[in-house]
Chains A and B, each alone.
Chain A
Amino acid sequence: MPALSRRAFLQSSAATATLAVAISATPFVIAQDSQSSGGHVTPCLRIDADGNITLCVPIPDMGQGMETTAAQMIADELNVNLDDVSVELMPFLGTVNDGGRAVFGRFYQGGGGSGSTMRIWHEIRGTAAYARALLLEAASRRWQTVRSGLVAREGAVFNPASGQSLPYGDLVPHTAGISDISEAGMKPKTANERTIVGADARNVHSRAIVTGKPLFGIDAEIPDMLHAAIRRCPHLNGRVISFDDTAARQIQGVIDIIPVDRIPEDTAQWRSVAAGLAVVAESYWAARKGAEALEVTWDETVSTGDDTGLLREKCLAALDGDGMTTSIEAGDLDAAFSEASHSIEATYFHPHWAHTCIEPHSCIAHVKDDEAEIWVGHQFMNSAINGVKDATGIAPEKVKANFYRMGTGFGRKAENDFIIEAAILSKATGRAVKVTWTREDEMEQDYVNQLAAYKLRAAVGQNGAISAWHLKAAADTTPAVVTREFPARLIDTYKTEYERVPNGVTRGAWRGPHHNVIAWVIQSFLDEVAVETGQDRLEALLSLYDRKTALKSLNWPNRDITFDRFRGVLRKAAEEAGFGKSMPDGWGQGIAVHHTFVSVCAHVVDVQMTGDRDYRVHKVTSAIDCGLVVNPLGVRAQVESGIMDGLCAAKYGKWILDKGLVTTNNFDTYQKMRINEAPSEINVHLLDFGDEEPRGTGEVSLPPVIPALTNAIFAASGKRIRELPISENL
């Protein structure tokens, strides 16, 4: 059967002309539209007719700094200064697989799993090195000299022998048709040759950001588009029973009211799109007023059992029930506990967290008979395009997607609901439609971080060392990650078990999925054990992570973990923070370490109690191993960001379902930290373990900061935080 397979296709971004794509015999996909008036030399370099250089980066930026990081990699190979060039996002350069889905091509074009930097490390430098080779070759042909004698620097090719030089822009037309460059001639630079990778680079879009340029998806507009505001069912998985749109239709500018059905229809299945009523209007404000004027009777009955208090009770009860599934086990657990000199047990619980992406979701879609175009900020280019296919049936090759910067993502902007809604409404109206969410929509229709309860038991021998580890987890998702996490397997006798409590809550990736909460549970309990057995808290951790040299992680992405890195970051953070120093009454320090995906981070948090029920974080001292560092300034920014995110979620994060109704739906009911609660001192230390490749940063600093905080609160106050949020449990 003839397949659609492997058809290369390319969607141009709004900012660039359509490119012609050729699959070269070289290892690199090459897009060249070199003409006399400038053009692309590979997909990562564009030069206009005036010689202005633009570096084209493959992965959308949501604040993690990927556009800057990728631009550094390209700039280094091309020997251009970042201050002298522009940076823009590439269009989608993927293909369609046998199942008719858009998939990545040469470049990974998504932001998630803290993996962007490592996933493009070879490909983007290789492509940029190929562009450099093409420019050098073009110059050598112009000058009829050997390429090896030429030098590319500061945006031009120089011939040291003759003193001649040609700017890259002049060479663009002459790169067309060159196809016989050897692989050796386009090798990326070695570590010693690099000057931009490894050096601090400020956000390449800072000037545009501080002057208010329209960079974000929500800023996009196209001529003749309509606006839509959707009144979505606030009851989880509910639907519309009846509605009266008389008043809404009287609002000036309102064009139509269009019911949006829940997708899928079966409420027992995971929600893709919420049920609601879309008000389509000439302006966003008219659409919003129309949505508010609708009188709707909702079906509130579907998810009344999905209630934060009830789910908490169910998860806690499950810990002692008989519904647990064994995840991993080894050794004789019962014997170890009966022989132990100490047995320590504790129960932990945390509620849901909302994403609160600062930019509410939005998407413009223009769906025609057999083609469509979207304008959107989204974490994954392939997935965004597949969302249009799912909504309309239009093949990915016929979907043109224009991608924008995101006002944070944290995993929520990896979902497609806002794209599907725009596509459905465009198809229904025959016009381009922009769907803009409110903050209430963003929080009510969130794919939240999971709610879970845990019971941990440790058997401790005469020497104070943990001899057996027993962990149970019950959650509204399958909490397998925590059961596979260390110190199980570092400790030879262990058993871990889990249970998923049935529920209808939509959960999704939230910065450092699973790790964001399990680091707290594990590292806090280890701190409890050390304190109860009279050990030094740092020494207890160092000795635990000295039990084995390395283990393959059972959690994604299943890499080999070497524990010298755990000890390394612990020692560095402790040393820099003066961990263990004497502090005034009411002050305390906490320490914790965790590996998220493939990188590892430790923090020491210094807190001061400010009364019985509040505290102030004065200082955070961090050590991170994230492999080869491309942008130290950017890594520090991500570590600082993860610290704030963790401190904030731990103190205030609680997304509340009241019998299926979300009652925390804006910043008046869902508190976030402001500058007054931010630590005034954050010291980040980047450790070098000799890696030749990057490992990832964006999610890594968040997980260990929560236990470092609660361990510090214990040291300062004697109160052990076993339930989040801290603000309600101190």
Chain B
Amino acid sequence: MSVSFTINGTRRSFDGDEEMPLLWHLREEAGLKGTKFGCGIGQCGACTVHLDGEAVRSCSVPMASLDGANITTIEGLAEDDALHPVQEAWIEEDVPQCGYCQAGQIMATVAFLKDTPNPTDEDINTGITNLCRCGTYYRIRKAIKRAAVAMQSA
């Protein structure tokens, strides 16, 4: 069986093991290392990408389910050199420590702010569930709010 989909706007097809999670297609076959492997069971969110605009954990999305899908990864978030406001906010608030989970945090936040453009603390508490092992949550919260303001005034 062959499945066709787009990654960051580029059409691709796949006819390998349909049980393989999207994560490994991105990292090993599409050359997109920004999406990270953290737990393999959808718990940590380091592998978060957008599937038709929704945040999903790519370690738990089998290739078989992707026919016709549009996938966006962290590499496809910035338009040319212009960073997404969420990426800008992450830099402004100096969020990244080790940085490993931050691509997933950013992808989760971009999708979250689409549905919740003006989030309260409680919205953030329930809407953002990614794990950061460095414990940058205090700055992530500030960066989410900064990005929300930037996107609303844009």
Residues in A lying within 8 Å of B, measured CB to CB: 61-65, 202-203, 205-207, 209-216, 218-219, 252, 283-286, 289, 356-360, 405-408, 436, 438-439, 633, 637-638, 640-645, 648, 666-668, 672-676, 678-680, 682
Contacts and interface: CB of A to CB of B under 8 A. Distances in A.
Contact of A438 (B40, B46, B99, B102): B40
A668 B34 contact: no
A156 B73 CA distance: 40
B75 A211 contact: yes
Contacts of B30: none
9 contacts: A211-B78, A216-B100, A218-B37, A407-B98, A637-B136, A638-B97, A641-B134, A673-B137, A675-B128
Contacts of B33: 212-214, 216, 219
Interface in B60-98: 73-75, 77-78, 83, 87, 90-91, 94-98
B90 to A, nearest CB: 5
B129 A64 contact: no
B83 A210 contact: yes
Given A206-B96, A633-B94, A212 B32 contact: yes
Contacts of A359: 36, 38, 98, 100
B131 interface: yes
B10 interface: no
Contacts of A65: 97
A638 B131 CA distance: 17
Contacts of B124: 675-676
A284 B125 contact: no
Contacts of B97: 63-65, 203, 637-638, 641
Contact of A405 (B34, B95, B98, B103): B98
A405 B125 CA distance: 29
Contacts of A207: 83, 91
Nearest to A681: B138
Contact of A358 (B96, B100, B129): B100
A283 B63 CA distance: 15
Given A203-B99, A680-B121, 4 more contacts: A210-B96, A638-B97, A667-B39, A678-B135
Contacts of B96: 203, 205-206, 209-210
A206 B138 contact: no
Given A206-B94, A674-B130, A667 B41 contact: yes
B98 A358 contact: yes
A515 to B, nearest CB: 18
B87 A211 contact: yes
B148 interface: no
A358 B19 CA distance: 24
A284 B17 CA distance: 12
A63 B43 contact: no
B135 A648 contact: yes
Contact of B90 (A210, A218, A285): A210
Contacts of A408: 98, 100, 133-134
Interface residues of B, number: 57
Q: Which 7 A-B pairs have the closest CB atoms?
A: A212-B34, A644-B135, A407-B100, A63-B98, A212-B74, A209-B99, A678-B137
A531 B99 CA distance: 42
A539 to B, nearest CB: 30
The SS class assigned to the A binding surface is loop
A645 B131 CA distance: 12
B28 interface: yes
A252 B17 CA distance: 9
Nearest to A680: B121
B58 interface: no
Contacts of B17: 252, 285-286, 289
B140 interface: yes
A84 B137 CA distance: 29
Contacts of B140: 675
Contacts of B36: 216, 218, 358-359, 407
A63 B41 CA distance: 24
Contacts of A633: 94
A682 B138 CA distance: 7
Contact of B24 (A213, A285, A357, A648): A285
Contacts of B99: 63, 203, 205-206, 209, 215, 405, 407
B150 interface: no
Contact of A672 (B74, B125, B133, B141): B133
A203 B133 contact: no
Contacts of B132: 358, 675
A676 B126 contact: yes
B34 A211 contact: yes
Contact of B98 (A61, A214, A252, A679): A61
B44 interface: yes
Interface string B95-111: 11111111100100000
A218 B99 CA distance: 13
Contacts of B43: 666-668
Contacts of A641: 97, 134-136
A547 B47 CA distance: 53
A495 B128 CA distance: 49
B146 interface: no
B83 A674 contact: no
A209 B103 CA distance: 7
Nearest to B128: A675
Nearest to A214: B33
Nearest to B130: A674
Contacts of A216: 33, 36, 100
A65 B134 CA distance: 11
A436 B35 CA distance: 15
Contacts of A638: 97
Contact of B40 (A405, A439, A678, A679): A439
B39 A439 contact: yes
